[in-house]
């Protein structure tokens, strides 16, 4: 089939690479979000998908809005058979959905209908799911509600961050998306409607959602830290300034600390929760780079009974 691939962040690049390497389909163009300011200089930077497409010599379309008429006209000229999508980052209007003969097929990083929305991996970790995966489905105007072509599953490990899990799903999902394109092309795959039961939603994690509540049990604290790493980053307050919690670990031998209370040794930093303590391994003070929690604690000289949190 002639394909136009839509995607923006680094997590979409493995799927684009897999389609380029398949030898069965032609990736005629790529759709991605416009260049965005990045870094301290805030200069405009192309998306990872745009950079990969340019390396491969593929036409790159960067519409401000997918309903822009010049973009729609170019898409009609290309006349794709199908448009595979991975984390494009914009809602597609009906006028765009109707252009490819076999529609738009999204690779979504959950086992639908669980975790429909922008942050399925983060929500799966924060909810304590033991298994997740990726699904390919036909895009319709509802939120991730279209019929499903195929799935792959992935176990969630006890130390996974959302970054770790998303990286594994990106590569597993790349194979699933390529197989889905093959099955659509030869007619061996038919999309199956999603069940009406088991729907959960995964809206974007905002910065305020990533604030850690140390009155919660240790398991909840651990899940929030892992689910919000690397973005937007779990955080708390220390002496009135934001302290990002980069990595923590569950422990079972400290139950003597009140929620938010810190205890620093030579090589360890513990903080109390609503159950037992957790150990802080890496933190990032406001305006500084990530550092080992023990080094941070030595620098700030934690007083007895001092706490983090509101």
Query: 17-61 pLDDT, tens per residue?
Result: 999 999 999 999 999 999 998 877 788 999 999 999 999 999 999
Distance CA 246, CA 131 (A): 23
Structure tokens at 216: 């919660």
Quote the pLDDT of residue 128.
96
Question: In the CATH scheme, what is the homologous superfamily, with its name and number, of domain 2-186?
Answer: Formyl transferase, N-terminal domain (3.40.50.170)
Strand order in the sheet with 131-138: 59-61, 26-31, 2-7, 83-86, 104-108, 131-138, 148-155
| Residue 234 and residue 224 in contact, taking contact as beta carbons nearer than 8 Å | yes
Quote the pLDDT of residue 272.
97
Quote the pLDDT of residue 180.
98
| Residues placed in the known binding site | 110-113
Quote the pLDDT of residue 310.
76
| Ranges of residues in the chain whose predicted pLDDT is under 70 | none
| Residues placed in the known binding site for (6S)-5,6,7,8-tetrahydrofolate | 110-113
Question: In the CATH scheme, what is the homologous superfamily, with its name and number, of domain 207-300?
Answer: Formyl transferase, C-terminal domain (3.10.25.10)
Is pTM beyond 0.85 here?
yes
Pairing of strands 131-138, 104-108: antiparallel
Quote the pLDDT of residue 130.
97
Quote the pLDDT of residue 14.
98
Distance CA 256, CA 271 (A): 10
**Beta partners for 216?**
none
Quote the pLDDT of residue 252.
85
Quote the pLDDT of residue 155.
98
Distance CA 180, CA 149 (A): 7
Distances (CA, A) of 271 to 55, 115, 215, 243: 47, 31, 11, 13
Structure tokens at 136: 């390919």
How many angstroms from the chain centroid is the CA of residue 123? Answer: 10
Instruction: Show me where the domains of the chain are located.
Output: 2-186, 207-300
């Amino acid at each position: 089939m002639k394909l136009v691939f839509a995607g923006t962040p680094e997590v979409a690049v493995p799927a684009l690479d897999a389609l380029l390497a398949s030898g069965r389909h032609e990736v005629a163009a790529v759709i991605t979000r416009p260049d965005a300011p990045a870094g301290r200089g805030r200069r405009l930077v192309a998306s990872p998908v745009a950079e990969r497409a340019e390396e491969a010599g593929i036409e790159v379309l960067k519409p401000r809005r997918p309903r822009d008429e010049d973009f729609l006209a170019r898409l009609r000229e290309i006349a794709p058979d199908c448009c595979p999508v991975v984390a494009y980052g914009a809602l597609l209007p009906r006028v765009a959905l109707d252009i490819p003969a076999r529609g738009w097929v999204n690779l979504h990083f959950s086992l639908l209908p669980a975790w429909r929305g922008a942050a399925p991996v983060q929500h799966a970790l924060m909810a304590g799911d033991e298994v997740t995966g990726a699904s390919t489905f036909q895009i319709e105007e509802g939120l991730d509600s279209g019929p499903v072509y195929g799935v792959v599953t992935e176990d969630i490990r006890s130390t996974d961050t959302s970054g770790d899990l998303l990286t594994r799903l990106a590569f597993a999902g790349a194979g699933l998306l390529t197989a889905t394109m093959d099955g659509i092309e030869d007619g061996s795959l038919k999309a199956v409607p999603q069940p009406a039961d088991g729907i959960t939603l995964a809206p974007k994690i905002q910065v305020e959602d990533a604030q850690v509540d140390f009155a919660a049990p240790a398991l909840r604290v651990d899940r929030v830290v892992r689910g919000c790493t690397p973005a937007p980053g779990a955080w708390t307050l220390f002496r009135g300034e934001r302290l990002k919690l980069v990595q923590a670990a569950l422990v079972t031998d400290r139950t003597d600390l009140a929620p938010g209370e810190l205890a620093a040794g030579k090589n360890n930093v513990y903080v109390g929760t609503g159950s037992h303590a957790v150990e802080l391994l890496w933190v990032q003070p406001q305006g500084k780079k990530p550092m080992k929690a023990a080094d941070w604690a030595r620098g700030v000289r934690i007083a007895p009974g001092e706490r983090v949190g509101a």
